[in-house]
Structure 1
């Protein structure tokens, strides 16, 4: 009776005062028990594979908590950060606490693993998987073959650049040049990676190679075509995945991971800007005919070619992130739709940042609803969909203006590029929040009642 009275009192205080639930008295808790090392290892390994495959911090935390509850790990606390995992279990009643951790040293996008990992968590949560079975299934997921061969992932980056160059007003020659320059830059970065060179310099070299190809096109007398080449190549390098994850982590209250991810985005953009800036500066010093007045601007049209190019950008992004093949059609339609909404809003005089945010919110809402219907993670949908609106052209424009005597306009262009990128990330996450607000329960028990960070704190 004492426990029932305490729970009723706790529920009443939560409803009337908005207070967080109190910790029950020690004598009312469940009796202690020895911690299963096998179950603890499953929780850590699933969380590690989710995080390294590209899942957001909040989803990883929910999945690990779900497994901890399923395997009856008492008083389990989970901490997920950008670079590591920590699980602590306190049995009580004389049993020693047990803590396990994992360091995340390498993150490789493998979106095709996410649905299988979340299905594993769901099956374990309803009692269908013992820890030994979960270990075996986890190993099968980890070592299973990716849906695309390695050469297809490399070609996908080139297809992103080619489609984006068409979206920026280029023709077949510009698309082919962007494809070749992007693949060449990626292979050069891969050589540097095998020699242990930091990723910052890998991105800088890849951006420099793409910009050098565009400078050669300028040298032969077609500056408009060159701008489309470099715009497409930059778009293939922009960090859309970590940007979306950083905004999502910040909104959901995980400020440490959000700050770390945003810093990673900053360094990636800084590397791209450095590579582009070095080549543009060299080209200007060599008197290449680079004119600020002839910089590109994506033609805001809904012609079939541009709409197909937007769909191609999103589909190629999905392939480069190793998403499953069954998402490609939905992602392609989403890319075409987000471009269409953006063009219609810009036609009504809406500023680029606001138009990007509104279009991303609508597509984020649709993508999250589709993911809920299919009972799969949403990241393989939302990240590729925003690809057509990533601000590759604004970045190139800002670097050219900085190096051709218009530093004020260059800084404004770079700020505008960052604003558009943040608006896209915030928009797709807002769509997810709208879906969450009307759900009772979801993937890994992530319903509207399952987010402690959403409680009103008023800054405390």
Structure 2
């Protein structure tokens, strides 16, 4: 090799590439961007002695290839990503393992042992607590939408029921589209029941608060983040998943209304996403509670829950203040995301988590999931007026998502300048790192 370092034996090469794939699988399935996943796999392989491996990351598959001898067939390993559940406990542990590898605190055998332990160890938080956290998140959404105590209580209960049903359907390996249909149906039936009971509630607001846990705002923003960092195939796949998930919600809401109509329960025109944010104090507290509850629901370490709530509170206030100046929602969302990106790197270093664990929950209250739903639902009505309104809603959602992704990336780029050696290693990547090591090192000396 040109740098004078010895090449590992073929057996060791296989073990190194397999470790890189297992690390990449956890990072990608837990919400890591394709650029971050690729870079993490590369730096781990390089540090363990595999110089310049070929890494390919798509939405459903990871591959690593290395040619150790021009006269021999290259070693190529492939691993499929079968599940994509956001899990920040495993993400944080894998990120720390990568850091330990780079710091020579663990060798290859120890790293593989720790990796096996990470993926096989149960979560420290019981599953019922995640259900309660999802209920709290939707209840908080009802708060900052101005729904009042009744809507908040309905959203809390409905979200917990939806979470348990979705968990059951997921364990039965039902495709995601049908899982979304079931969730949308349950949310609508809760709204219909509330309206039929004579409670003074807005059914549209009830459904809006109930379906927030199903909406695909995170996937939509993740797709744009991958596009901004040059991974267009993965971005297209994530975009399609987000749109299909939203279509499932629309089908579920329509099915719920049709089912209620069979029993003579009519609630009129239902328009989820119509409600807007209310007064600043309610908005701030609701956004903080929503972000904190989401962080708990995705198994983020407890030490980051309070910082996430504070960051989300400030970001929501900044978004609202800029919108009140008449600059438009995308500018407010972009400024808020820029602030989140700026502080996430510093806070993440203090609490020892990847910046991604702070960025995503803090940005959840700003996501345009409701705008995506509103746009697609209007487009399905078929009239000229609804189609125009639907296109406007979709363009607004796209503008907000681009502003959020671009703001976060710019904030991290300002807060976390790349080192020269990392920049050489990541020549085909763009943008800062939200997970994984921030600098690369060569193979340790033996």
Task: Decide: shared fold, TM above 0.5.
Answer: yes
Within the alignment, does 1:349 sit opposite 2:290 as a pair?
A: no
Q: Which moved more, 1:242-251 or 1:426-435?
A: 426-435
Contact 2:272–2:370, Cα closer than 8 Å, also in 1:
no
Give 1:298's aligned residue. 276
- Which stretch has the larger CA shift, 318-327 or 212-221? 212-221
Q: CA deviation at 1:240?
A: 3.5
Q: Is the 8 A contact 2:335 2:407 kept in 1?
A: no
Counterparts of 1:81-96 in structure 2, within 5 Å, are 81-92=58-69, 94=71, 96=73
Please say if residues 208 and 276 of structure 1, whose CA atoms lie closer than 8 Å, have aligned partners that are also in contact.
yes
Structure 1 length as normaliser, TM-score? 0.82
Matched, 1:102 2:79: yes
- In the alignment, which residue of structure 2 is the partner of 1:122? 99
The residue that corresponds to 1:63 in the other structure is 40
Change (3 A) 1:283 1:352: farther
Q: For 1:340, which of 317, 320, 325 is the aligned residue?
A: 317
Tell me whether 314-323 or 399-408 shows the greater mean CA deviation.
Answer: 399-408
Distance 1:376 1:294 in 2: 35
Are the structure 2 counterparts of residues 263 and 318 from structure 1 closer, same or farther at C-alpha, using a change threshold of 3 Å? same
Q: Is 1:174–2:183 an aligned residue pair?
A: no
Q: What TM-score, normalized to structure 2? A: 0.84
Look up the match of 2:182: 205
Q: Distance in 2 between matches of 1:71 and 1:331?
A: 35
Question: Displacement, 1:266?
Answer: 1.1
Answer with 63-72 or 396-405: which moved more.
396-405
> Are the structure 2 counterparts of residues 127 and 345 from structure 1 closer, same or farther at C-alpha, using a change threshold of 3 Å?
same
C-alpha separation in 1, matches of 2:80 and 2:150: 46
Offset at 1:149? 0.8
Aligned with 2:62: secondary structure? strand
1:378 aligns with 2:358: no
**Map of 1:6 onto structure 2:** none
Question: Within 2, Cα distance between the matches of 1:375 and 1:429?
Answer: 24
5+ residue gaps, structure 2, are: 432-446
- Local SS of the residue matching 1:79: strand
Residue number among 217, 223, 232 corresponding to 1:255 in the alignment: 232
How large is the Cα RMSD of the aligned pairs?
Answer: 3.3
Q: Give the Cα–Cα distance (whole angstroms) in 2 for the partners of residues 83 and 402 of structure 1.
A: 29
Structure 1 distance, partners of 2:67, 2:271, is 66
Q: Does 1:194 align with 2:162?
A: no
For residues 254 and 131 of structure 1, the distance between their equivalents in structure 2, rounded to whole angstroms, comes to: 29
Instruction: Using the TM superposition, give the Cα deviation of residue 301 of structure 1 relative to its aligned residue in structure 2, in angstroms.
Output: 1.1
Give the distance between the partners of 1:90 and 1:323, measured in 2 at CA: 39
CA distance in 1, matches of 2:290, 2:383: 31
| Cα deviation, residue 398, structure 1 | 5.7
The correspondence for 1:452, drawn from 405, 428, 445, is 428
Correspondence list, 1:2-401, <5 A:
34-35=9-10, 36=12, 37-92=14-69, 94=71, 96-222=73-199, 224-280=201-257, 288-290=266-268, 296-303=274-281, 305-371=282-348, 376-391=353-368, 394=371
Q: Write the distance in 1 (CA, Å) between the matches of 2:91 and 2:272.
A: 44
For the residues of structure 2 that align with 1:369 and 1:438, how far apart are their CA atoms?
8
Does structure 2 retain, via aligned residues, the 8 Å contact 1:401–1:407? Answer: no
2: distance between equivalents of 1:85 and 1:431?
25
Q: CA deviation at 1:272?
A: 1.2
Per the TM alignment, residue 339 of structure 1 is displaced from its structure 2 partner at its CA by 1.8
Residue 14 of structure 1 aligns with which residue?
none
How far does the alpha carbon of each residue in 1:308-355 deviate from its partner, in whole angstroms, 9 at most, with x for none?
A: 211111111111211111111111112212221122122222323332
Partners of 1:159 and 1:409 in 2: CA distance: 33
Question: Take 1:294 and 1:65, find their aligned partners in 2: how far apart are those partners?
Answer: 44
Contact 1:61 1:79 in 2 (8 A): yes
Instruction: Say which one has the larger Rg.
Output: 1
**Unaligned 5+ runs, structure 1:** 1-25, 456-460
Question: Secondary structure of the equivalent of 2:50?
Answer: coil
1:359: Cα distance to partner? 2.2
Query: In structure 2, what is the Cα distance between the partners aligned to 1:306 and 1:219?
Result: 29
- Measured in 1, the distance between the counterparts of 2:362 and 2:387 equals 28
